[in-house]
Structure 1
Amino acid sequence: MSTSARWTAVALVALVGVVVALLTTLGGGGGGQGAAPAPTPSAPPVGTPPTDEPHTTLEPEAREASGLPECRDRAAAATTDGPVAGFLVRCMDDGTTTMLGKIQAGKPMLVNLWAYWCEPCRRELPALQAAQATLGNSVRVVISHTDPSETKGLDTLAALGIDELISVSDQDEELPTLLGAPPVLPLTVLVREDGSVARVLIEPMDTEQEILDAVSEHLGVTA
């Protein structure tokens, strides 16, 4: 074999090696592992509330993929008394509208008002999910995204792994006004089983125990 032929053969072998390596990298290393898992959604950045946030609502596919629990028991009788019982919200799990009284359905209720851009809210959400798991069915724990962008709210929940809390949208940000609350978030409303408001808390609660203590003190429910 001539010198030129030998170098041509070496070059071809090297080229084949590069192609195989590239295909192995793109294919996840072969070995039957399949495609790489989809990345976890990233939460929108925190900061101050936008002055011109557009109203956005979720597509049905996004609602179904969220895995959020149903926001009400359709067979349960609604709570009809109290200042928040008739307040309309959109259920993030299926896009329907309902009243907070229908979600409450005669049980003590905690409603946490939050927004995707609120950094203390993000710290509070995992603690709320842990508290709900501890409280079980003794208290309805509801999180209300108080911002026009429902899509950014769901993106934030997905990024934080919040998929076990009843989630609703207050896109016109009307609930704080109804309560006469200051324009701050997070804000937590503790509602007695008869629909009367026991307490409106305007400070964040960063731990499960802080939330359980508030529920015990203001609603008389202990875990």
Structure 2
Amino acid sequence: MSSSTRWSLVALVALVGVVVALVSTLGGSDGDSSAARSGDTGGTTLSSQAAPPPGGPPADEPITVVDPDTRATVDLPECRDSAVAATTDGPVAGLMVRCMDDGSTTTLGKIQAGKPMVVNMWAYWCEPCRRELPAIQDAAATLGDEVRVVVSHTDPSETKGFDTLGALGVDELISVSDQEEELPTILGAPPVLPLTLFVRADGTVAHVLVQPMYSEQDVLDAVAEYLGVTA
């Protein structure tokens, strides 16, 4: 990603954060507003593992890969079931990603394997992304096997993404690295994070959501609206 594009991302992330915070304060319930002001992440607190600070993405983020010993410290779910046929149709089925659980590479189609799929695109430096990850994890647990829920770290540094997941206690989601930041480009999505992609079982894209989801119910409502799956 070029320096100008990455700094456009910073500006748009900041703008979205301000708008969402303002809407939560003016239109939400007292409980929701208090949570937004306090930076509540749905009850998940940072572990002793240090997370890189949020803010703007570096203009020239180096590509980094988690070493095997560090990778083994977090028991992330496997990316795919090799016994299940991959989804082969649709614009994102062939996208290669790195699985954070074991460092192997695979395609989103192999991860999807014929089920409805949600792919949340996030980055370690994106504060709204950090806030919604615990909500996505809770929703994935509620949905069970009905929907593949994937979080895709959209940044060259897998290391910083891995450290952030560990610090947030987000260890029950299928987690991948899109180090070349290809998925937003394939979708023609605006240069802002977080983005959430809703993919039907046949591989067609139902919707690209350009706003954070800060509660489990937000995620479940979106899955119901765009994929027709209810928990």
The corresponding residue for 2:138 is 130
The corresponding residue for 1:64 is 72
Identity over aligned pairs, percent: 74
The corresponding residue for 1:119 is 127
- Which ranges in structure 2 are unaligned for 5 or more consecutive residues? 1-46
Q: Distance in 1 between matches of 2:190 and 2:181?
A: 12
1:143 maps to a residue whose letter is: V
Q: Distance in 1 between matches of 2:50 and 2:69?
A: 18
- Which ranges in structure 1 are unaligned for 5 or more consecutive residues? 1-38
- The structural deviation recorded for 1:62 is 1.4
- The structural deviation recorded for 1:203 is 0.4
Within the alignment, does 1:73 sit opposite 2:43 as a pair?
no
1:7-41 deviation line (CA, Å, top 9, x unaligned) = xxxxxxxxxxxxxxxxxxxxxxxxxxxxxxxx711
- The structural deviation recorded for 1:65 is 1.4
1:186-201 paired onto structure 2 within 5 Å: 186-201=194-209
- Which stretches of structure 1, 4 residues or longer, exceed 4 Å deviation after superposition? none
Match of 1:167 among 145, 168, 175: 175
2:117 maps to a residue whose letter is: M
Q: Distance in 2 between matches of 1:151 and 1:180?
A: 26
Q: Distance in 1 between matches of 2:111 and 2:223?
A: 18
Within the alignment, does 1:203 sit opposite 2:198 as a pair?
no
Which region of structure 1 is more displaced relative to structure 2, 103-112 or 57-66?
57-66
The corresponding residue for 2:8 is none
Aligned residues: 185
Bigger Rg, which one: 1
3-state SS of paired residue (1:188): strand
What TM-score do the two structures reach when normalised by structure 2?
0.79
2:96 maps to a residue whose letter is: L
1:138-175 deviation line (CA, Å, top 9, x unaligned) = 00000000001111001100110000000000011111
1:85-117 deviation line (CA, Å, top 9, x unaligned) = 001000001111100000000000000000000
What TM-score do the two structures reach when normalised by structure 1?
0.82
1:156 maps to a residue whose letter is: T
3-state SS of paired residue (2:72): helix
1:1-223 paired onto structure 2 within 5 Å: 40-223=48-231
1:185 maps to a residue whose letter is: L
- The structural deviation recorded for 1:42 is 1.5
